[in-house]
Chain A
Amino acid sequence: MRYSAGSLIRNALSGHKHWPRVWREPEPKKSYDVVIIGGGGHGLATAHYLAKNHGITNVAVLEKSYLGNGNIGRNTTIVRSNYLCPENIAFNEHSLKLWEGLSEDLNYNVMLSQRGVLVTFHTPAQRDAAIRRGNAMRLNGVDAVLLTREEVRKLVPIIDFSPSARFPIRGGLLQPRGGSVRHDAVAWGFARSADSRGVDIIQNCEVTGIKIEKGRVRGVETARGSIKAKKVAIIVAGRSTLVANMAGLRLPIESHVLQSFVTEPVKPILDTVVSFGAAHFAVVQSDKGGLVFNGGLDGYNSYAQRGNMETLEDAAAAAASFMPCFSRLRLLRHWGGINDMTMDGSPIITKTHVKGLYFNGGWCYGGFKGTPASGWTTAHMIANDASHELSAPFTLSRFETGLVINENGAGPRPGRH
């Protein structure tokens, strides 16, 4: 069924007891044209665009847990395209444009709120860097506005502008079209759309092996039996190394945990997404009123989806320093997501040495905002057996050739990106 004002009224009158299920729960078939390993945001987006853009619907999405348990439900819901490297700008701007039309495309309200994304700066050197970044964005057709200290104060008055502020605000770089999206709705919307076009979404179906014969992929072994497939895509943020190893693929990736936090709900106080330029801290107020924020990586290899207290303390200290009015708020929840950190801080979307096997991963902490473009370009790659122009730079071979896309210039230190 299509959601509409009419369907809402009808179901309201019948006490919301007759809404149909949003997607089916099919048994896995013996074979598919395409098997997508991983029912996260990127896997579901890939399935949606495979069906919609390329007419490929004999597709299964295999998820080891339930939809929304991975990073699609663990991020801080921020979307933006304020990058410096041209490859990253083009990719993330395409993503932002897809976000702008996504609710209509999916017939599912993903609650995009383009409230602006602000990054503050605190030193003359940071100001130079912000100007450079803003110019790079504008040269690539992306909106960017340099704000003075007074303009930042007007936009976000709760920042500490007092003379005693540890890192005085000199200004900020604003991307007005950036904002936030309801993250669960993204998973559900993509899943519903893919399912309605014939894609089988199979939950609780962990992949335990990838079948390869004579250099070509033949299918996968799963907890629910063997499934044949002409093409297989690995899209498993947080488990990339482990699943890629099943196909003998070695990766320039370390897995790290990133924590996110949400405070008790308060009345509307922050209508912009704000990133602190002096420490790892970015915050957005959710529709329920909670302040959702994150800090830096815990800083060492981890597959535990929970974090340590030192990092929580750091993030809370940054919050209190930047926006002192938050200091008395209580934390409601905190959780961790596993980020596959690549050696240059940019993702990998690529064909592999095995025919018919594709890899998408290494999103560092930029995965959520990239979801639609990731699905768009990965679907293109699977359908045409060739990279989309937007994802063509994000190869695996770039590490051998030296064409790395190193946004921060941090070198091969995954924990530093």
Chain B
Amino acid sequence: MRIKCPWCGPRPLNEFTYGGDATKARPRKPEAAGIDAWMDYVYLRKNPAGRHEEFWHHSAGCRSWLIVTRDTTTHEIEKVALASPQLREGKK
């Protein structure tokens, strides 16, 4: 598996560190969020067999956090984007 980093181009897997499911959103008002919201964020995962949006850190490269859309049954990568714009806008 190779990941095409937006800054560095296609790079081998061992330059990257996995960051897990990128669809989980931290409760917007942590102090007001109940146990269900925290349980959902910290523990529950969709864990799909198929299309999965996930964080990867180019830890042995440019050190950018990426959001990769990958198929968990074939490892085919559909899309790679920088995570920072989405995180900055508070979408994730």
Chain B proximity mask over A296-324: 1 for CB below 8 Å, otherwise 0: 00011111100010100000000000000
Count chain B CB atoms within 10 A of each CB in A251, A301, A413 and give the residue with the most.
Answer: A301
The answer to whether B75 touches A252 (Cβ under 8 A) is no
> At the interface, yes or no: A242 with Cβ under 8 Å from chain B?
yes
The answer to whether B72 touches A301 (Cβ under 8 A) is yes
The answer to whether B44 touches A302 (Cβ under 8 A) is no
Knowing A254-B20, A300-B18, the reply to whether A308 touches B47 (Cβ < 8 A) is: no
Chain B proximity mask over A107-150: 1 for CB below 8 Å, otherwise 0: 00000000000000000000000000000000000000000000
Q: Please, which residues of chain B bring their CB within 8 A of the CB of A299?
A: 18
Contacting B42 at CB < 8 Å: which of A239, A250, A412? A412
Q: Please, which residues of chain B bring their CB within 8 A of the CB of A415?
A: 18, 20
Count chain B CB atoms within 10 A of each CB in A252, A343, A413 and give the residue with the most.
Answer: A252
The answer to whether A254 touches B49 (Cβ under 8 A) is no
Closest B residue to A302 by CB, please name it. B72
The answer to whether A254 touches B45 (Cβ under 8 A) is yes
Contacting A300 at CB < 8 Å: which of B35, B39, B54, B74? B54
> At the interface, yes or no: A253 with Cβ under 8 Å from chain B?
yes
A residues 228-276 near B (Cβ < 8 Å) are 239, 241-242, 250-255
Chain B proximity mask over A375-404: 1 for CB below 8 Å, otherwise 0: 000000000000000000000000110000
Q: Please, which residues of chain A bring their CB within 8 A of the CB of B46?
A: 241
Give the distance to chain B from A305, nearest Cβ to Cβ, in Å.
Answer: 10
> At the interface, yes or no: B7 with Cβ under 8 Å from chain A?
no
The answer to whether B72 touches A252 (Cβ under 8 A) is no
The answer to whether B13 touches A301 (Cβ under 8 A) is no
Residues of A within 8 A of B (CB): 239, 241-242, 250-255, 299-304, 308, 310, 343, 399-400, 412-415
Inter-chain CA distance A250–B42, complex, in Å, is 13
Knowing A301-B52, A304-B74, the reply to whether A399 touches B43 (Cβ < 8 A) is: yes
| Supplied contacts A254-B47, A400-B35, 18 more A-B pairs, CB within 8 Å | A239-B49, A241-B46, A241-B47, A251-B44, A252-B45, A254-B20, A254-B21, A300-B18, A301-B20, A302-B72, A302-B75, A303-B72, A304-B72, A304-B74, A310-B13, A343-B42, A412-B43, A413-B20
Give the distance to chain B from A65, nearest Cβ to Cβ, in Å.
Answer: 15
Contacting A301 at CB < 8 Å: which of B35, B43, B47, B74? B47
Q: Please, which residues of chain B bring their CB within 8 A of the CB of A242?
A: 49
Closest A residue to B14 by CB, please name it. A310
Contacting B47 at CB < 8 Å: which of A253, A310, A399, A400? A253
B residues 26-78 near A (Cβ < 8 Å) are 35, 39, 42-49, 52, 54, 72-75
The answer to whether B45 touches A253 (Cβ under 8 A) is yes
The answer to whether A308 touches B1 (Cβ under 8 A) is yes
Q: For the complex, count residues of B whose C-beta is within 8 A of A.
A: 23
Q: Please, which residues of chain A bring their CB within 8 A of the CB of B48?
A: 241
Q: Please, which residues of chain A bring their CB within 8 A of the CB of B1?
A: 308
Give the distance to chain B from A35, nearest Cβ to Cβ, in Å.
Answer: 22
The answer to whether B45 touches A251 (Cβ under 8 A) is yes
Inter-chain CA distance A301–B69, complex, in Å, is 12
Q: Please, which residues of chain B bring their CB within 8 A of the CB of A300?
A: 18, 54
Q: Please, which residues of chain A bring their CB within 8 A of the CB of B44?
A: 250-252
Inter-chain CA distance A277–B20, complex, in Å, is 26
Q: Please, which residues of chain B bring their CB within 8 A of the CB of A414?
A: 45
Closest B residue to A397 by CB, please name it. B39
The answer to whether B20 touches A251 (Cβ under 8 A) is no
Give the distance to chain A from B24, nearest Cβ to Cβ, in Å.
Answer: 11
> At the interface, yes or no: B12 with Cβ under 8 Å from chain A?
yes
Inter-chain CA distance A251–B12, complex, in Å, is 32
The answer to whether A400 touches B39 (Cβ under 8 A) is yes
Q: Please, which residues of chain B bring their CB within 8 A of the CB of A253?
A: 45, 47
Closest B residue to A396 by CB, please name it. B43
Closest A residue to B35 by CB, please name it. A400
Contacting B43 at CB < 8 Å: which of A303, A304, A310, A343? A343
B residues 68-92 near A (Cβ < 8 Å) are 72-75
Q: Please, which residues of chain B bring their CB within 8 A of the CB of A251?
A: 44-45, 47
Inter-chain CA distance A250–B54, complex, in Å, is 19
Q: Please, which residues of chain B bring their CB within 8 A of the CB of A250?
A: 44
Give the distance to chain A from B60, nearest Cβ to Cβ, in Å.
Answer: 12
Inter-chain CA distance A302–B49, complex, in Å, is 8
Inter-chain CA distance A399–B52, complex, in Å, is 24
Give the distance to chain B from A239, nearest Cβ to Cβ, in Å.
Answer: 8
Closest B residue to A239 by CB, please name it. B49
